[in-house]
Each structure stands twice: as structure tokens, then as C-alpha cells.
Chain A
Amino acid sequence: MTTVVIQEARARDTVDIFTQMPDAAAATAPSGESAEAALAFLAEMSPDLRGAAVLGPEGEVLAATGEEPERWGEDAAALLAAADAAEETPVEQVHIATEQGEVFAIRNGGLTAVAVTERFALASLMLFDMRSMLRELGKGSA
């Protein structure tokens, strides 16, 4: 008897939960202002950060550090294209370490974040912060 009640409650409440959840496809890109704020927060949290950009679902630059946002868009698109082509599979994260600095890119919920840091930045922390930023942005825009 109790099991039946629990199952009924689960079915009823699960439907409620699902109806309250945002549809991923219906989510719109966050505003430039919120992306700028998220980027500023990322810069504050990451002492090794040199520059970063947030890209929308179509690859458009929502926010970027520096004076050349269009270059961030072009180069980030080229990076993701090269990464996807490496194994003919879409990548989730990219980490490239060179002697001049390190490059990180991450995709989450249709958004993309790209960041350049000093050499030997803590990769796991950087990627965690970038993923958190994209999740928060995604929540805000849903």
C-alpha cells in the first residue's frame, strides 16, 4: 500500500518537476551584460587569467576581454574546429599548454568559454570555474 502511494507521488511530482525544467532547445543566449559580468567574475577568481571570451550558441562573441572581440570569435571558432576535426568528434574541453601560455576552452549548454592563462595555471580549477560560469549564464538566460 505504502509503495503504491510512493509511486503515485513520484509520478505526480516528477511531472511537476519536468514541467518546471527549462527546455534546453528553447533557452536563449544570455545578454552581453550578464556575459560581461560573468567574465569579470572569472577574471577576479583566476589570478592567472590573461584574457577570456564567452561565445553564444552560434559562435557569436557575447563578451571578451581586450579590444578585439571579433578576433576572439574567429580564433575560438578556429580552435574548436581544429579540436573537433582531430578525431571527428565534438570536444567538450580543450587544454593546450605552450611555452607562451595556456589555452582552455569548454562547451556547456550551447555556450562556449575560451580562456588564456599564464603557464602552469591549475587546469582543473580553471576548467571548473569556466564550467561554473557557463552554467550560471545558462541558468540566467533560460
Chain B
Amino acid sequence: MQKPHRILLDRVSAYADEAAAFMRRRRVARRPFARLYYAGGRSADHAQDSTAGAELFVVAGRLIEVAGSKKGAR
């Protein structure tokens, strides 16, 4: 049988692992991307540092600015 303080340590380390995994997932999910879909279901990703990708991100930024932050501001 494990000593009580060992159970506590295991639990704390399990929570720390969970938190680290959550942060890893969040970091991956927050990475910006530009994805284009073509006829036939083909899709292509363009990195932000590529020529096409950079242009797409610039225009997307302008559209985000036009839309503003308020939902459906008419």
C-alpha cells in the first residue's frame, strides 16, 4: 500500500501532466493557417511565410478589420 504523501504526489503530477498537455494542444490549435479548397475536394495549406500565404494573411487581416469585433453590427 502506498503512503498517503505518495498518493498526493502522484495526483499532483497527474494534474501537471494534464495541464502541460492542454497547453500543448492549445499552442497547436492557435497556430494561424490558410487553407484553400479546390473542386474535387482537394485542399492546400499555405504557410504564413510563403509568398501566397503572406498575401492571404494580409487580406484576411483587412477583412477582420472591416468586420470589426461586434457581431452583426449593421
- B60 in contact with A98 (CB, 8 Å): yes
In the complex, number of A-B residue pairs with CB atoms less than 8 Å apart: 114
A96 adjacent to B37 (CB under 8 Å): no
Q: Within 8 Å CB of B64, what residues of A? A: 50, 98, 100-101, 103, 116
Asked whether B2 is an interface residue with its Cβ less than 8 Å from the other chain, the reply is no
Is A79's CB under 8 angstroms from B66's CB? Answer: no
Quick one: given A43-B71, A83-B56, are A75 and B30 in contact (CB under 8 Å)?
no
**Looking at chain B, what size class is its interface with the partner chain?**
20 to 34
Which of A11-19, A21-29, A64-72, A133-141 is the interface stretch?
A: A64-72
Per the bound structure, the CA–CA distance linking A71 and B61 in Å amounts to 13
B66 and A89 contact, CB distance less than 8 A: no
A93 within 8 A of B: yes
B70 sits at the interface (CB 8 A): yes
> Could you tell me if A87 and B60 are in contact, using CB atoms closer than 8 angstroms?
no
Residues of A within 8 A of B (CB): 40, 43, 47, 49-52, 65-68, 71-72, 75-76, 78-79, 82-83, 85-87, 89-101, 103, 114, 116, 119-120
Q: Sample 28 A-B pairs with CB under 8 A, ordered by A number.
A: A43-B71, A47-B71, A49-B72, A50-B67, A50-B71, A51-B67, A65-B73, A66-B66, A75-B62, A78-B62, A79-B60, A79-B63, A82-B59, A86-B44, A86-B56, A87-B36, A87-B52, A91-B37, A92-B39, A96-B34, A97-B34, A98-B57, A98-B64, A99-B30, A103-B64, A114-B63, A116-B67, A120-B29
Given contacts A49-B71, A78-B62, A101-B67, 19 further A-B contacts (CB under 8 A): A47-B71, A50-B64, A50-B69, A50-B71, A51-B72, A66-B73, A71-B62, A79-B60, A82-B55, A86-B56, A87-B38, A92-B39, A93-B36, A94-B56, A95-B33, A95-B35, A96-B34, A99-B32, A116-B64
